[in-house]
Every structure is written in structure tokens, then in C-alpha cells.
Amino acid sequence: MLGRRQFIRTAVLGTGALVLSGKSSFAHAAEPSPGDSQIDVLINEPLGTISPNIYGHFAENLGGVIYDGIWVGPDSAVPNIEGIRKQLVEQMRKIKAPAVRFPGGCFADSYDWRDGIGPRDKRPRRTNFWADTAPAAAPASHKYDPNQFGTNEFVHFCQLIGSQPYLAANVRSLPAERFYRWVEYCNSPAGSTTLADERAAAGYAQPFNVRFWGVGNESWGCGGEFTPQEYAVEFRRYTTWVPRYGQELSFIASGPNDDNWDWTRGFLEEMVRKGPGALRAVYGLALHYYAWNLSRGRTRNWIAGKGDALQFDVVDWYELLRQGDVMESLINGHWQVMSEFDPEHALKLVVDEWGPWYKPGSELTPGDQLEQLPTLRDAVFSGMTLDIFNRHPEKVALAACAQLINCLNSLYLAHEDNFCVTPVGHVFEMYAAHQGGQALRTVFLAPQVRYQRDGQPATFWGLQGSASLHDRSLVLTVVNPHVSEARETRIQVQGAGVKSGSATILTSHDIHAHNTFANPEAVKPQEANVEIAAPVLTYTFPPASVTRLTLALG
């Protein structure tokens, strides 16, 4: 079986063998089924505070993410702030992006941060980790890293958008000493060390105060092909006695891929062999999970199992959502294994790569490796995933959608002076309202979606979502996955009355709808009032939609 790990190791990119019957559009028969659904928000059952950090992002030096996506250069005709794409900064301020992970991904374990500091015209060009799999149309900057966007530029980008930097260190090919020095470069006080002076010479006298540090990436695969036990030894070595400079450091260990419980167990088992105190060095375990297999159970091959981002039928729509829904059981499963070693749960999960992954072919900019065109399906998927994180605030401390721009589940697409917000970007803007709120237990009752999956009956849940309380304001996000049925729903807020409300709805009559440079507003949120005419609120969620209700409580 060809898996993601082998795919990356053997540097194979294929177009995939799966042939999908593509319906170009799907007409909604938006007939509500009256009164069939109910949502109970339990004000008196708080689950924990929703950390803003679960709304984080991932920007790897891969394809068009950094060069062209974020970095256009100070001399570019594209409006920029000291080289950083201005439109991206403006959009990201709207979504209250809490953290951005850089420089990878697999790229991280091939990167020497020293190449990316100092005067830009003196920086070396290096072969990018992704060079061998770059499409023929990829520009040179995607294959040979010009190192114009390094630590300074990344931290500046984070400062512009109000985010915390989350740096991923190289464990596979750099010694631990380089890791300490990177921390020193970023965090040592002004004037204290030679590296602080180098930082000051670049215009950054004050320390960057970077808190989040990934210790390798996918160390079970591209990050070194370690066993979990070997990796635990490396993790201990890299994180022991790293100078703090008064800054709390949160070390994130390379965690499991999907449902690899053995990785979680093996890593923690080896860590505690040094005594339970060893776990204090770990802030979180990075879980990676991509929804990629749309083969309806026919194959587990990483290439053949992929679907198309744009050409899909109704079953593919549900299939992707079923794949995404697995996230909740992965969180619960790894949490369970973690409790064997850390019953107090000091360690958290960091889901720092998530999203759908399709076969190549839908790129808006030919040559942008792993770029795909997010549709309404991906918006619904993303809303569903963020709701899952919201429902587990005690478990998930940080998350990062893969990836920010021009790659996989992008929030934005950009090329030269073209830019657009994808349906996924709109979901992040809608869901930003949950950040910092008190998550509330919420019970969803709705008829299941029923459909035929290759001649066999299949089902999927009818409504799901999450709720958070912010003083007397309730934010309720709801996903209706049904491609053609609206859900008329009774909403009861148990423990409070609803005074007024408003709705923001993301949907389309076409489940394939997506935004492009030529048509950037094909999918965009609509605002609506919520009528509060009776003690129990009734609201109809349109088919194939993500809705945010903001309710003022009495």
C-alpha cells in the first residue's frame, strides 16, 4: 500500500487512477422538513474555554505558499508591506489569526534557519525539500529556495496580522545546538548575545519572544523515519536545558499520523522511562490528519484513493465529510492513550495539519504544487472540523489548517496581483467569533442523511455544530450537510432567554461553488435577522450550509 509517508519519501506525484463521475452542478430542492430537528444549548454545562489558538494556520515553504502567496518582495508592483502581500495582511486581520506555523511541514526538517537571516542579497539559494515533486510550470523560487522570507520576515508577518509565530525546528538534519541557537536568535534580549546583535542589525532589536516550538515534523516519516522510542530520545535531547530568556517555551512533539495509536503510546512510554517528570517538557503532541480517501472503501492507496477538488458527485460530498468526521474519534482515541501516561492531562493535542487533500488538477495557478480549489464542500468540511475542536476545548490546545494560501485547504488564493478569499477563508472569519468563549454542551437532534453508496445504504448525521458563551452573547455554529434538504430546527437555550439574534449563512445553490480570481464572490456569507417570535426559537438551516447564529441572551 502506498501511504503519505511513502509518497513523500519516494517523491512521487501522480494524477491518480480514480475516475469520478463529475456533475457540474446540483440543484437544491430546498424544501424544509417542518419541525424535525432540535438543538439544545445547555448554558449550565460549560466544557472549557475555547483557545483562540485552535484557529491557527500553517504556512510551509511549499509551492506558492511563501513565494507569491505571502512574500512578493519590497520591489514588487503587487501592493505590499515591506515585501509581504498587503491584501493578505488585511484579510488575516479580519479572522483574528492567533498563530501561524512555519517553515514546514516536511520542509522544516531540511531547513537551516541561518540561511534565512542577514542581508537579503547575501542569503544563499538552497534546494527546496519539495523540488523533486514540483510541477514543470513551477517557478524557480518554488524549487530553489531564495531565502528571502526567513525568520525576520515571518515574525514581521505575524506581527502585522497579530499572530504568534509557531516555529518548527529541524531534527532530522541539524544538530540540537542549532535549535538552541535559533531560540537564542529569536528570544535573547537586545544587546545580550551576538545573535541578538544580528537580529538588531536586521532591524529587530527587541526579542521576538517565540513561545511555540515544534520539535521536528512527522518524525515518523519525512522528519527522520524514527521509531517513536528513538524520537522520544531525540525530543528529550533537543528540549533539555534550552535557555528561556524569561519566555515560556511550549515544545510541541511530533505526534501521530491519523490513528497511529502505537506512535502516541511508544513516544510517551519512552518519555516516562526517565520518570513521569519527563513529560513536563512536552506541551502537546502534534496530530496530523488529512481527509484524502474518496475511493468509497475500494483502496487505501495514497494516489489512487484521492478524489477531485471540483469534479464530484453527491456521494463524494458525503464521503469527504465522513472522512473529516473521523477527526473527533482521533482526538478521543489519542486522548485516551495519553491518559495512560498522563492521567491529569497536562499534555494537550496540537492538530497542526488538517484539511482535505485532493489529486492535482484544480490549481488556479499552474505550477503551484499541492494547490487545489476549495469549494463549498471544503467550507462545510472546515466548519465541521472547527466545531469538533470547539467541542473538545480541554483536549485541543492549538490547531493549524493546512495550508494558509495556495495549498490544500487554502483560505486564500493569490498569484501576482490576483487575490481571492476561498469559502474556507469565509468560514474562518465566521468562526472567529468563538475564540475565547466558554464552550457549552449542545445537543443536536436531526434526521440522518440517507443516501446510496455504491448500491449500499449509507447514513451521515443530520446537523452538528458547537456553541460558545461570551458574557450574554451566544455564538452557535451549525453545519447542515444535506445537499438538498433544509432543516427547520427548534433551538432551545436551556438556562436563558433569547432577546434578539442575527445569522450569517454560507451556502450556494451549487455544491461545487467556489471562488476564483475572475469570480471572487461566487461564495460569500449572507447576513440575516433572526425572528424571535416565540419562547422557542425556530430557525431553518439551508441545505449544504454553514451558519453562525449570534444570540443576545436575556
Q: Which residues bind ligand AHR (CB under 6 A)?
A: 4, 8, 60, 104-106, 217-218, 353, 402-403, 408
CB of 334 to ligand AHR, least distance (A): 17
Out of 218, 363, 371, 429, which one is annotated catalytic? 218
CB of 371 to ligand AHR, least distance (A): 11
What is the Cα–Cα distance from 121 to 128, expressed in whole angstroms?
18
Out of 60, 153, 184, 353, which one is annotated catalytic? 353
Name the helix (H) or strand (E) containing 158: helix 151-161
Of the two residues 8 and 92, which places its CB atom closer to ligand AHR in the complex? 8
Instruction: List Cβ<8 Å contacts ≥24 apart for 8-11.
Output: 8/106, 8/221, 8/222, 9/221, 9/222, 9/225, 11/132, 11/133
227-248 as b/e: b if 16+ CB within 10 A: ebeebbebbbebbeebeebebe
353 carries an active-site annotation: yes
CB of 104 to ligand AHR, least distance (A): 5
Of the two residues 73 and 355, which places its CB atom closer to ligand AHR in the complex? 355
Of the two residues 102 and 541, which places its CB atom closer to ligand AHR in the complex? 102
Using alpha carbons, select from 524, 517, 512, 343 the residue that is nearest to residue 430: 524
What is the Cα–Cα distance from 539 to 487, expressed in whole angstroms?
8
* Ramachandran angles phi, psi of 194, nearest 5°: -60, -35
Residue indicated by cell numbers 433544509: 486
Residue pair 400/446 in contact (Cβ under 8 Å)? The answer is no
Of the two residues 134 and 196, which places its CB atom closer to ligand AHR in the complex? 134
Of the two residues 402 and 449, which places its CB atom closer to ligand AHR in the complex? 402
- The one-letter amino acid code at 381 reads F
Of the two residues 145 and 353, which places its CB atom closer to ligand AHR in the complex? 353
CB of 545 to ligand AHR, least distance (A): 28
Measured from each CB, the residue nearest to ligand AHR is 105
- The one-letter amino acid code at 491 reads I
Q: What is the 3-state secondary structure (H, E, C) of 177-190?
A: HHHHHHHHHHHCCC
What is the Cα–Cα distance from 153 to 110, expressed in whole angstroms?
19
- The one-letter amino acid code at 81 reads I
The residue length of the chain stands at: 554
Q: Rounded to a whole number, what is the distance in angstroms from the first to the last CA of the chain?
A: 57
CB of 8 to ligand AHR, least distance (A): 6
What is the Cα–Cα distance from 202 to 445, expressed in whole angstroms?
57
Of the two residues 143 and 470, which places its CB atom closer to ligand AHR in the complex? 143
Handedness of CA 29, 30, 32, 33 (dihedral sign): positive
CB of 106 to ligand AHR, least distance (A): 4
Burial of 139 (0-12, 13-18, 19+ CB in 10 A): middle
36: Cα within 13 Å, side-chain hemisphere: 14
CB of 218 to ligand AHR, least distance (A): 5
Of the two residues 106 and 268, which places its CB atom closer to ligand AHR in the complex? 106
SS3 of 427, please?
helix
CB of 402 to ligand AHR, least distance (A): 4
SS3 of 257, please?
strand
Of the two residues 404 and 478, which places its CB atom closer to ligand AHR in the complex? 404
- The one-letter amino acid code at 312 reads F
* Ramachandran angles phi, psi of 195, nearest 5°: -70, -35
531 carries an active-site annotation: no
CB of 429 to ligand AHR, least distance (A): 22
Cell digits for 527?
447576513
Catalogue the active-site residues.
218, 353
